[in-house]
Amino acid sequence: MNVQTAATYMGVSVNTLYVWRHRRQGPPSFRMGSGGRVMYRRDLLDAWLSDQQQADSRSNPILNPLNAAPQQRERRRAA
């Protein structure tokens, strides 16, 4: 899919996709054809979105610091 379609599919702006591509932090993309149009594959977009969801502590209970067991504080010794 082209950049416009991919942006709509992901719910982000075209500019966001271009910024992510420039910073090499967004979903995988490639250039196609003699004009070098930037394209995205739907399966790779879905995989990238899934990875982002797993890396987010709000949607992945394992990463949520509120789910961690409380740690005991060290007691100070009187001098």
- Residue-by-residue pLDDT tens, the chain, 79 positions: 999 999 999 999 999 999 999 999 999 999 998 889 999 999 999 999 988 887 776 666 666 666 667 777 787 777 6
Per-residue confidence (pLDDT) for residue 54, from 0 to 100: 78
Q: What is the four-CA torsion angle of 7, 23, 58, 8, rounded to 10 degrees? A: 0
67-70 own/partner pairs: CB under 8 Å, 24+ apart: none
Return mean pLDDT, the chain.
86
Q: What is the enclosing helix (H) or strand (E) of 60?
A: none
Per-residue confidence (pLDDT) for residue 28, from 0 to 100: 95
Work out the burial of residue 17: count CB atoms within 10 Å of its CB; fewer than 13 is exposed, 13-18 middle, 19 or more buried. Answer: buried
Per-residue confidence (pLDDT) for residue 59, from 0 to 100: 64
